[in-house]
Amino acid sequence: MLLQKSCPEIQNRTEPNLLSWFSSILDIEMLKRLMISLSLTTVLLVFLSSSPVWAVQDDRLGEDQMIRILLPESSVVQKETYRLGDIARLEGPDPHLIARLERIKIGRSPLPGRNLNVSRSIMLSRIRSAKIDTKKIVFPASQSTRIQRAALKIPGKDIDESVLNHIRDAYSGMDIKPRILAKTRDVFLPRGEVSYRFIKKGRHLKEGGYQTFEIEFSVDGKSIRKVPVRTYIKLYKDVLIAKDTIKEDHIISEADILKVRRNVDRMPSAYVTDEEDILGKIASRAINPNEVIQETTVSAVPVIKSGDRLMIVFETPNLRLTAPGISLQKGALGDRIQVRNLQSKILVYATVQDRNHVQVN
């Protein structure tokens, strides 16, 4: 009975101890797992610490060891091509590398009077093409720059005035009124010793009228640019016109003509200005009142008429032959007309020598 009574007490004492024991075992297992996890984490960190990340950090250069390319907001270049040293200021500890960078050709300069934006990417591309490591280069300030070519500005107004003066010199002593059809724009040329010359374009058979001049600009003896200038020239001359209608074959006298001043730029080039050139000649066709008389509308008075009998002459230094003939055309002195040999009935062309003789070759 005593034992039976005491067993519950033992049982009650033992149960809490077992729980404590199991709890301590669980705490130790968790602690071991925690320690293992911490150990693995430590090993991983050590591995990562010895990985290439540190190598990258070791490879990086300090700011004072790199080449600094400082770009201004804008710059002016002188030549047809520009280099890095022309548009940027380079700083750094390696003077040899700086000299190499300054000599790198970046591109062609803009035309005189125009701008060009050059970005950091373009410069880096040219640097890589020169086999230079871009990791050693930094752009601490601006990432681009605007360049323009050094130029000499020639105002279009001055160009137009030069062309007008050239026309006046070319038509010296004549009554002309030249004008520019379209204003010329300003021209920008590279700096240097500038020279120019005038070139007349096209074939101008008439005096005055529409004409195009080209100014060729050269710098230091090298042709740089040609600028076309279109003009219109009014040219005034005293020309002869018919007072009244002049009939065909009428012999022209002073009473038939009148001298007036006209703009000749739209007239045929054969207009007559001297009275002596037409007085005593005949009209080859009817001439209307106020019509400008041309060289083709008058001709010399014929000395031989169609149907006149004459002598045909063939002559060499040692021989002279003659034959009777008859003219088939009218003709003045020096004209070639058609005649018939009355003996052989052959038609020949001969030159009028006088009213009775014609000569064949």
pLDDT in tens, 291-304: 999 988 898 888 89
Residue corresponding to tokens 């060891």: 65
For position 152, what pLDDT does the model report?
Answer: 84
For position 32, what pLDDT does the model report?
Answer: 61
Q: Is the pTM of this model over 0.85?
A: no
Structure tokens at 253: 């006298």
For position 121, what pLDDT does the model report?
Answer: 92
**Which of the given ranges, 6-10, 76-80, 81-85, has the highest pLDDT on average?**
81-85
For position 80, what pLDDT does the model report?
Answer: 84
- Categorize the per-residue pLDDT at 260 as very low, low, confident or very high, splitting at 50, 70 and 90: very high
Over residues 38-80, the pLDDT tens digits come to 565 555 554 445 444 333 334 455 667 889 999 999 888 888 8
For position 18, what pLDDT does the model report?
Answer: 45
For position 360, what pLDDT does the model report?
Answer: 92
- Pairing, β 357-360 against β 309-316: parallel
For position 70, what pLDDT does the model report?
Answer: 92
For position 52, what pLDDT does the model report?
Answer: 43
pLDDT, mean of residues 150-159: 88
For position 6, what pLDDT does the model report?
Answer: 41
Which class is domain 236-299? alpha beta
pLDDT above 70 covers what percent of the chain?
Answer: 82
For position 29, what pLDDT does the model report?
Answer: 61
Order of strands, edge to edge, in the sheet holding 144-149?
74-77, 144-149, 115-119
Is the domain defined by 67-149 classed in CATH 3.90.650.10?
no
Top-confidence residue, 305 or 22: 305
Top-confidence residue, 182 or 191: 182
Computed over every residue of the chain, the mean pLDDT equals 83
Domain ranges, ordered by start, for the chain: 67-149, 154-235, 236-299, 309-360
Fold of the domain built from segment(s) 309-360: SH3 type barrels. (2.30.30)
pLDDT at 216 over 70: yes
Over residues 264-316, the pLDDT tens digits come to 888 877 889 898 888 988 898 999 999 999 988 898 888 898 999 999 999 88
**Which of the given ranges, 168-177, 205-214, 294-303, has the highest pLDDT on average?**
168-177
Top-confidence residue, 121 or 149: 121
pLDDT above 90 covers what percent of the chain?
Answer: 47
Over residues 333-353, the pLDDT tens digits come to 888 999 999 999 999 999 999
Reduced 3-state DSSP string for the chain = CHHHHHHHHHHHHHHHHHHHHHHHHHHHHHHHHHHHHHHHHHHHHHHHHCCHHHHHHHHCCCHHHCEEEECCCEEEECCCEEEHHHHCEEECCCHHHHHHHHCCEEEECCCCCCEEEEEHHHHHHHHHHCCCCHHHEECCCCCEEEEEECEEEECHHHHHHHHHHHHHHHCCCCEEEEEECCCCCCEEEECCCEEEEEEEECCCCCCCEEEEEEEEEEECCEEEEEEEEEEEEEEEEEEEEECCCECCCCECCHHHEEEEEEECCCCCCCECCCHHHCCCCEECCCECCCCECEHHHEECCCCECCCCEEEEEEEECCEEEEEEEEECCCECCCCEEEEEECCCCCEEEEEECCCCEEEEC
- Categorize the per-residue pLDDT at 103 as very low, low, confident or very high, splitting at 50, 70 and 90: very high
